[in-house]
Amino acid sequence: MSGIKVRSATPSDVEDLAKLMAELGYPTTSDNMAARIERLSDREDYAIFVADEEGAVAGMIALSVIPTLYRDDLDGAITALVVSSNFRGKGIAGLLVAHGERWLYDSGARLATVKPSSRREDAHRLYERCGYQHTGLRFTKTLEGLGG
Among the listed residues 28, 49, 23, the one whose alpha carbon sits nearest the alpha carbon of residue 120: 23
Asked if 36 and 20 touch (Cβ cutoff 8 Å), the reply is: no
Please state the rounded mean pLDDT for residues 103-127: 86
Q: What is the pTM of this model?
A: 0.89
Q: Is the dihedral of CA 32, 35, 41, 42 positive or negative?
A: negative
> What CATH number should be reported for the domain holding residue 71?
3.40.630.30
Task: Say what the pLDDT of residue 26 is.
Answer: 92
Task: Say what the pLDDT of residue 1 is.
Answer: 55
Task: Say what the pLDDT of residue 141 is.
Answer: 82
**Tally of structural domains, the chain:** 1
Instruction: Determine the structural domain holding residue 133 and report its residue range.
Output: 4-146
Q: Helix (H, G, I), strand (E, B), or coil: what is residue 108?
A: coil
- Cβ neighbour number for residue 110 with a 10 Å cutoff: 12
Task: Say what the pLDDT of residue 142 is.
Answer: 79
Task: Say what the pLDDT of residue 2 is.
Answer: 64
Q: How far apart are CA 74 and CA 102, in angstroms?
A: 14
Half-sphere exposure of 139 toward its Cβ, with a 13 Å CA cutoff?
0
Among the listed residues 50, 82, 49, the one whose alpha carbon sits nearest the alpha carbon of residue 63: 49
